[in-house]
Structure 1
Amino acid sequence: MSKEEYFNQYESYIAEKISLTDETSQVENEIYENMLSFTISKKHLAKLKVTDFISFLSRIKKNRKSQINVSQTISNLIYYIWFDEMAGQLRLNFINSNHSELPFEADLEFTSNEVDIIDEFLHSEYLNEITWDKLSDDTGDQQNEKSTEIIDFKLKVYREIIRKDARRANIG
Protein backbone atom coordinates (compact mmCIF):
# COMPACT_ATOMS: atom_id res chain seq x y z
CA MET A 1 0.00 0.00 0.00
CA SER A 2 1.41 3.37 -1.01
CA LYS A 3 1.21 6.56 1.02
CA GLU A 4 -1.57 7.79 -1.29
CA GLU A 5 -3.54 4.56 -0.87
CA TYR A 6 -3.17 4.76 2.91
CA PHE A 7 -4.63 8.27 3.11
CA ASN A 8 -7.27 7.54 0.45
CA GLN A 9 -8.91 5.12 2.88
CA TYR A 10 -9.42 8.09 5.24
CA GLU A 11 -10.42 10.62 2.57
CA SER A 12 -14.02 10.72 3.86
CA TYR A 13 -12.70 12.22 7.11
CA ILE A 14 -11.89 15.48 5.37
CA ALA A 15 -15.44 16.52 4.46
CA GLU A 16 -17.23 14.63 7.24
CA LYS A 17 -19.91 16.80 8.85
CA ILE A 18 -19.28 17.33 12.53
CA SER A 19 -21.54 18.02 15.46
CA LEU A 20 -21.35 21.71 16.37
CA THR A 21 -22.80 23.20 19.53
CA ASP A 22 -22.09 25.94 22.04
CA GLU A 23 -23.36 23.74 24.89
CA THR A 24 -20.89 22.01 27.22
CA SER A 25 -23.62 19.56 28.23
CA GLN A 26 -23.34 17.97 24.77
CA VAL A 27 -19.75 16.77 25.24
CA GLU A 28 -20.61 13.07 24.96
CA ASN A 29 -22.27 13.72 21.61
CA GLU A 30 -19.32 15.83 20.44
CA ILE A 31 -16.94 13.01 21.38
CA TYR A 32 -19.04 10.36 19.64
CA GLU A 33 -19.74 12.36 16.49
CA ASN A 34 -16.42 14.15 16.00
CA MET A 35 -13.70 11.67 16.92
CA LEU A 36 -11.54 10.28 14.12
CA SER A 37 -8.94 7.54 14.39
CA PHE A 38 -6.09 6.20 12.30
CA THR A 39 -4.55 2.75 12.46
CA ILE A 40 -1.49 1.45 10.68
CA SER A 41 0.24 -1.87 10.32
CA LYS A 42 3.97 -2.17 10.82
CA LYS A 43 4.48 -3.16 7.19
CA HIS A 44 3.19 0.25 6.04
CA LEU A 45 5.24 2.32 8.48
CA ALA A 46 8.23 2.74 6.16
CA LYS A 47 6.10 4.56 3.60
CA LEU A 48 4.58 7.11 5.98
CA LYS A 49 6.19 10.12 7.62
CA VAL A 50 5.08 12.57 10.26
CA THR A 51 4.84 15.27 7.59
CA ASP A 52 2.36 13.13 5.63
CA PHE A 53 0.05 13.07 8.64
CA ILE A 54 0.53 16.80 9.31
CA SER A 55 -0.49 17.54 5.73
CA PHE A 56 -3.57 15.31 5.92
CA LEU A 57 -4.61 16.68 9.33
CA SER A 58 -4.29 20.22 7.97
CA ARG A 59 -6.89 19.39 5.35
CA ILE A 60 -9.25 18.10 8.05
CA LYS A 61 -8.74 21.20 10.21
CA LYS A 62 -9.30 23.49 7.23
CA ASN A 63 -12.64 21.78 6.59
CA ARG A 64 -13.67 22.07 10.25
CA LYS A 65 -12.86 25.77 10.17
CA SER A 66 -15.11 26.10 7.11
CA GLN A 67 -17.89 24.23 8.89
CA ILE A 68 -17.72 26.39 12.00
CA ASN A 69 -17.62 29.56 9.89
CA VAL A 70 -20.97 28.78 8.27
CA SER A 71 -22.57 27.41 11.44
CA GLN A 72 -24.90 29.20 13.85
CA THR A 73 -22.56 28.49 16.77
CA ILE A 74 -20.64 31.35 18.31
CA SER A 75 -17.82 29.40 19.94
CA ASN A 76 -14.54 28.31 18.43
CA LEU A 77 -13.41 24.68 18.25
CA ILE A 78 -10.83 22.88 20.32
CA TYR A 79 -8.89 20.45 18.17
CA TYR A 80 -6.96 17.84 20.11
CA ILE A 81 -4.93 14.80 19.15
CA TRP A 82 -3.46 11.91 21.13
CA PHE A 83 -2.04 8.45 20.63
CA ASP A 84 -4.17 5.72 22.21
CA GLU A 85 -1.45 3.13 22.57
CA MET A 86 -3.73 0.43 23.98
CA ALA A 87 -5.93 0.68 20.88
CA GLY A 88 -2.97 1.27 18.56
CA GLN A 89 -4.70 4.35 17.17
CA LEU A 90 -3.88 7.95 16.49
CA ARG A 91 -7.03 9.79 17.55
CA LEU A 92 -8.28 13.32 17.18
CA ASN A 93 -11.40 15.19 18.09
CA PHE A 94 -13.13 18.55 17.91
CA ILE A 95 -15.23 20.01 20.74
CA ASN A 96 -16.51 23.53 21.29
CA SER A 97 -14.22 25.98 23.03
CA ASN A 98 -16.61 26.55 25.94
CA HIS A 99 -15.20 23.41 27.58
CA SER A 100 -12.76 24.35 30.33
CA GLU A 101 -10.86 21.07 30.04
CA LEU A 102 -10.52 18.13 27.70
CA PRO A 103 -12.78 15.13 28.35
CA PHE A 104 -10.22 12.64 29.66
CA GLU A 105 -10.11 10.80 32.97
CA ALA A 106 -6.32 10.50 32.83
CA ASP A 107 -3.79 13.12 33.84
CA LEU A 108 -2.68 15.02 30.75
CA GLU A 109 0.72 16.12 29.54
CA PHE A 110 0.36 18.82 26.89
CA THR A 111 2.84 19.06 24.07
CA SER A 112 3.46 22.10 21.91
CA ASN A 113 3.03 20.37 18.55
CA GLU A 114 1.36 17.51 16.74
CA VAL A 115 4.71 16.11 15.65
CA ASP A 116 5.35 14.62 19.12
CA ILE A 117 2.05 12.73 19.08
CA ILE A 118 2.32 11.48 15.51
CA ASP A 119 5.94 10.44 16.01
CA GLU A 120 4.95 8.44 19.08
CA PHE A 121 2.23 6.72 17.03
CA LEU A 122 4.56 5.89 14.14
CA HIS A 123 7.27 4.52 16.44
CA SER A 124 5.17 2.49 18.86
CA GLU A 125 6.31 -1.08 19.34
CA TYR A 126 2.70 -2.07 20.04
CA LEU A 127 0.94 -1.02 16.82
CA ASN A 128 -0.24 -4.49 15.85
CA GLU A 129 -0.14 -6.28 19.17
CA ILE A 130 1.13 -6.41 22.70
CA THR A 131 2.87 -9.73 23.08
CA TRP A 132 2.40 -11.87 26.17
CA ASP A 133 6.00 -11.36 27.23
CA LYS A 134 5.34 -7.58 27.45
CA LEU A 135 2.45 -8.11 29.84
CA SER A 136 3.04 -8.61 33.54
CA ASP A 137 0.90 -9.60 36.48
CA ASP A 138 0.71 -6.59 38.79
CA THR A 139 -1.86 -8.15 41.10
CA GLY A 140 0.65 -9.29 43.72
CA ASP A 141 2.02 -7.38 46.67
CA GLN A 142 5.35 -6.76 45.02
CA GLN A 143 5.98 -3.18 44.01
CA ASN A 144 7.72 -3.19 40.68
CA GLU A 145 8.71 -0.80 37.95
CA LYS A 146 5.68 -1.62 35.77
CA SER A 147 3.10 -0.78 38.44
CA THR A 148 4.85 2.53 39.11
CA GLU A 149 4.60 3.35 35.41
CA ILE A 150 0.85 2.77 35.52
CA ILE A 151 0.41 5.02 38.55
CA ASP A 152 2.50 7.77 36.96
CA PHE A 153 0.83 7.54 33.54
CA LYS A 154 0.08 10.82 31.79
CA LEU A 155 -1.61 10.97 28.41
CA LYS A 156 0.30 13.17 25.99
CA VAL A 157 -2.07 15.50 24.12
CA TYR A 158 -1.72 18.34 21.66
CA ARG A 159 -4.50 20.91 21.44
CA GLU A 160 -5.15 24.05 19.48
CA ILE A 161 -8.03 26.44 19.00
CA ILE A 162 -9.62 26.63 15.58
CA ARG A 163 -11.04 30.12 15.52
CA LYS A 164 -14.24 31.10 13.83
CA ASP A 165 -13.60 34.04 11.52
CA ALA A 166 -14.57 37.22 13.38
CA ARG A 167 -16.63 38.60 10.51
CA ARG A 168 -18.74 35.43 10.49
CA ALA A 169 -19.01 35.09 14.27
CA ASN A 170 -20.97 38.34 14.52
CA ILE A 171 -23.38 37.61 11.69
CA GLY A 172 -26.76 36.81 13.07
Structure 2
Amino acid sequence: MSKEQYFKNPEEIIYDVIYIGSSNSELQKEIQTNMWCISISEEMSNEVSLSDFHGFIMNVIANRQNQINRSTMQSGMIFYLWYDFMASQLRFNLISDSNKELPFRCKIQNVSEPDEVIELFLKSNVYGEITQNTNEKDGGDEYVLKVYTRYLDKQ
Protein backbone atom coordinates (compact mmCIF):
# COMPACT_ATOMS: atom_id res chain seq x y z
CA MET A 1 0.00 0.00 0.00
CA SER A 2 1.31 3.42 -0.89
CA LYS A 3 1.27 6.46 1.35
CA GLU A 4 -1.48 7.99 -0.82
CA GLN A 5 -3.63 4.85 -0.45
CA TYR A 6 -3.04 4.82 3.31
CA PHE A 7 -4.32 8.39 3.70
CA LYS A 8 -7.24 7.72 1.34
CA ASN A 9 -8.70 5.23 3.86
CA PRO A 10 -9.08 7.65 6.80
CA GLU A 11 -10.01 10.57 4.52
CA GLU A 12 -13.67 10.04 5.42
CA ILE A 13 -12.73 10.90 9.01
CA ILE A 14 -12.00 14.45 7.89
CA TYR A 15 -15.57 14.93 6.67
CA ASP A 16 -17.39 12.83 9.27
CA VAL A 17 -20.30 14.66 10.91
CA ILE A 18 -19.76 15.56 14.56
CA TYR A 19 -22.28 15.32 17.38
CA ILE A 20 -22.77 18.43 19.51
CA GLY A 21 -24.61 17.81 22.75
CA SER A 22 -27.08 20.33 24.10
CA SER A 23 -26.13 19.79 27.77
CA ASN A 24 -23.42 18.34 30.00
CA SER A 25 -25.52 15.21 30.40
CA GLU A 26 -24.71 14.33 26.77
CA LEU A 27 -20.94 14.12 27.37
CA GLN A 28 -20.90 10.33 27.04
CA LYS A 29 -22.71 10.48 23.70
CA GLU A 30 -20.24 13.13 22.47
CA ILE A 31 -17.31 10.95 23.53
CA GLN A 32 -18.71 7.85 21.82
CA THR A 33 -19.85 9.59 18.64
CA ASN A 34 -16.91 11.95 18.15
CA MET A 35 -13.98 9.60 18.71
CA TRP A 36 -11.86 8.51 15.77
CA CYS A 37 -8.93 6.06 15.79
CA ILE A 38 -6.12 5.52 13.31
CA SER A 39 -3.80 2.53 13.23
CA ILE A 40 -0.63 2.08 11.25
CA SER A 41 1.52 -0.88 10.31
CA GLU A 42 5.22 -0.90 11.08
CA GLU A 43 5.94 -0.87 7.35
CA MET A 44 3.69 2.14 6.71
CA SER A 45 5.06 4.04 9.71
CA ASN A 46 8.40 4.03 7.90
CA GLU A 47 6.86 5.50 4.73
CA VAL A 48 4.78 8.34 6.15
CA SER A 49 6.18 11.45 7.76
CA LEU A 50 5.28 13.59 10.70
CA SER A 51 4.25 16.35 8.29
CA ASP A 52 1.84 13.96 6.50
CA PHE A 53 -0.02 13.33 9.74
CA HIS A 54 0.24 16.96 10.82
CA GLY A 55 -1.52 18.01 7.60
CA PHE A 56 -4.17 15.35 8.10
CA ILE A 57 -4.89 16.47 11.68
CA MET A 58 -5.01 20.14 10.61
CA ASN A 59 -7.59 19.20 7.95
CA VAL A 60 -9.64 17.40 10.59
CA ILE A 61 -9.49 20.44 12.89
CA ALA A 62 -10.46 22.81 10.06
CA ASN A 63 -13.48 20.65 9.22
CA ARG A 64 -14.54 20.45 12.89
CA GLN A 65 -14.22 24.23 13.20
CA ASN A 66 -16.38 24.65 10.11
CA GLN A 67 -19.05 22.30 11.50
CA ILE A 68 -19.07 24.17 14.82
CA ASN A 69 -19.43 27.50 13.02
CA ARG A 70 -22.42 26.20 11.04
CA SER A 71 -24.13 24.64 14.06
CA THR A 72 -27.00 26.20 15.96
CA MET A 73 -25.10 25.86 19.24
CA GLN A 74 -23.61 29.04 20.66
CA SER A 75 -20.62 27.52 22.42
CA GLY A 76 -17.42 25.98 21.18
CA MET A 77 -15.87 22.56 21.54
CA ILE A 78 -12.59 21.05 22.69
CA PHE A 79 -10.59 19.00 20.19
CA TYR A 80 -8.09 16.64 21.81
CA LEU A 81 -5.54 14.23 20.38
CA TRP A 82 -3.63 11.46 22.14
CA TYR A 83 -1.74 8.25 21.45
CA ASP A 84 -3.30 5.14 22.99
CA PHE A 85 -0.23 2.92 23.29
CA MET A 86 -2.22 -0.09 24.54
CA ALA A 87 -4.28 -0.08 21.33
CA SER A 88 -1.43 1.30 19.17
CA GLN A 89 -3.77 3.98 17.84
CA LEU A 90 -3.71 7.69 17.29
CA ARG A 91 -7.03 8.93 18.68
CA PHE A 92 -8.85 12.22 18.67
CA ASN A 93 -12.15 13.43 19.97
CA LEU A 94 -14.34 16.48 20.37
CA ILE A 95 -16.43 17.46 23.40
CA SER A 96 -18.45 20.55 24.26
CA ASP A 97 -16.47 23.27 25.99
CA SER A 98 -18.89 23.23 28.92
CA ASN A 99 -16.97 20.15 30.06
CA LYS A 100 -14.02 21.65 31.86
CA GLU A 101 -11.99 18.44 32.11
CA LEU A 102 -11.03 15.84 29.55
CA PRO A 103 -12.52 12.40 30.25
CA PHE A 104 -9.32 10.56 31.21
CA ARG A 105 -8.70 8.75 34.48
CA CYS A 106 -5.00 9.45 34.52
CA LYS A 107 -2.77 12.45 34.85
CA ILE A 108 -2.56 14.52 31.67
CA GLN A 109 0.40 16.43 30.30
CA ASN A 110 -0.81 19.05 27.83
CA VAL A 111 1.53 19.44 24.88
CA SER A 112 1.68 22.57 22.76
CA GLU A 113 1.79 20.92 19.34
CA PRO A 114 0.01 17.89 17.86
CA ASP A 115 3.38 16.76 16.51
CA GLU A 116 4.44 15.60 19.99
CA VAL A 117 1.56 13.11 20.03
CA ILE A 118 1.89 12.14 16.37
CA GLU A 119 5.58 11.41 16.89
CA LEU A 120 4.74 8.95 19.69
CA PHE A 121 2.34 7.21 17.33
CA LEU A 122 4.81 6.99 14.46
CA LYS A 123 7.71 5.83 16.60
CA SER A 124 5.76 3.08 18.30
CA ASN A 125 6.43 -0.47 17.23
CA VAL A 126 2.90 -1.54 16.36
CA TYR A 127 3.67 -5.24 15.98
CA GLY A 128 5.80 -6.74 18.68
CA GLU A 129 6.92 -4.76 21.64
CA ILE A 130 4.85 -2.21 23.50
CA THR A 131 7.14 0.58 24.56
CA GLN A 132 6.71 1.66 28.15
CA ASN A 133 8.25 5.08 27.61
CA THR A 134 5.70 6.25 25.02
CA ASN A 135 4.38 8.56 27.70
CA GLU A 136 6.48 9.84 30.53
CA LYS A 137 6.15 8.90 34.15
CA ASP A 138 5.99 11.84 36.48
CA GLY A 139 7.09 11.13 40.03
CA GLY A 140 6.54 7.51 40.93
CA ASP A 141 4.45 5.08 38.99
CA GLU A 142 1.57 7.35 38.02
CA TYR A 143 0.84 7.18 34.31
CA VAL A 144 0.96 10.51 32.47
CA LEU A 145 -0.80 10.82 29.11
CA LYS A 146 0.40 13.41 26.61
CA VAL A 147 -2.58 15.19 25.08
CA TYR A 148 -2.79 17.95 22.51
CA THR A 149 -5.83 20.12 23.16
CA ARG A 150 -7.26 22.86 21.00
CA TYR A 151 -10.26 25.00 21.79
CA LEU A 152 -12.53 25.52 18.78
CA ASP A 153 -14.61 28.60 19.51
CA LYS A 154 -17.86 29.29 17.70
CA GLN A 155 -16.99 32.03 15.19
| TM-score between both structures, scaled by the size of structure 1 | 0.81
RMSD: 2.0
- Deviation of 1:27 after TM superposition, in Å, equals 1.1
The 1:149–1:85 alpha-carbon spacing in structure 2 relative to 1, beyond 3 Å, is farther
Contact (CA 8 Å) 2:21, 2:27: kept in 1 or not?
no
- Deviation of 1:22 after TM superposition, in Å, equals 4.0
Q: Which ranges in structure 1 are unaligned for 5 or more consecutive residues?
A: 136-147, 166-172
1:153 corresponds to which of 102, 118, 143: 143
1:136-155, CA deviations, whole angstroms, 9 ceiling, x for partnerless residues?
xxxxxxxxxxxx99822111
Q: Which ranges in structure 2 are unaligned for 5 or more consecutive residues?
A: 133-137
Letter of the 1:36 partner, please give it: W
Residues in 1 aligned to 2:55 and 2:22: alpha-carbon distance in whole angstroms? 28
Secondary structure of the residue aligned to 2:33 is helix
- Listed as ranges, the matches of 1:127-138 within 5 Å are 127-130=126-129
Secondary structure of the residue aligned to 2:68 is helix
The 1:129–1:30 alpha-carbon spacing in structure 2 relative to 1, beyond 3 Å, is farther
Secondary structure of the residue aligned to 1:157 is strand
Residues in 1 aligned to 2:60 and 2:76: alpha-carbon distance in whole angstroms? 15
Residues in 1 aligned to 2:116 and 2:72: alpha-carbon distance in whole angstroms? 34
Secondary structure of the residue aligned to 1:151 is coil
Give every structure 1 segment of 4 or more consecutive aligned residues whose post-TM-superposition deviation is greater than 6 Å: none
Residues in 1 aligned to 2:82 and 2:103: alpha-carbon distance in whole angstroms? 12
Name the larger-Rg structure.
1
Letter of the 1:71 partner, please give it: S
Counterpart position of 1:143: none
Residues in 1 aligned to 2:147 and 2:96: alpha-carbon distance in whole angstroms? 17
1:52-82, CA deviations, whole angstroms, 9 ceiling, x for partnerless residues?
0111111111111111111111111100000
Contact (CA 8 Å) 1:22, 1:75: kept in 2 or not?
no
Contact (CA 8 Å) 1:22, 1:74: kept in 2 or not?
no
Counterpart position of 1:144: none
Counterpart position of 1:102: 102
Contact (CA 8 Å) 1:22, 1:98: kept in 2 or not?
no
1:111-166, CA deviations, whole angstroms, 9 ceiling, x for partnerless residues?
111011000110013x12347xx89xxxxxxxxxxxx998221111110111211x
Matched pairs, number: 150
- Deviation of 1:18 after TM superposition, in Å, equals 0.8
| TM-score between both structures, scaled by the size of structure 2 | 0.90
Q: Give the percent of matched residue pairs that are identical in Structure 1 and Structure 2.
A: 34
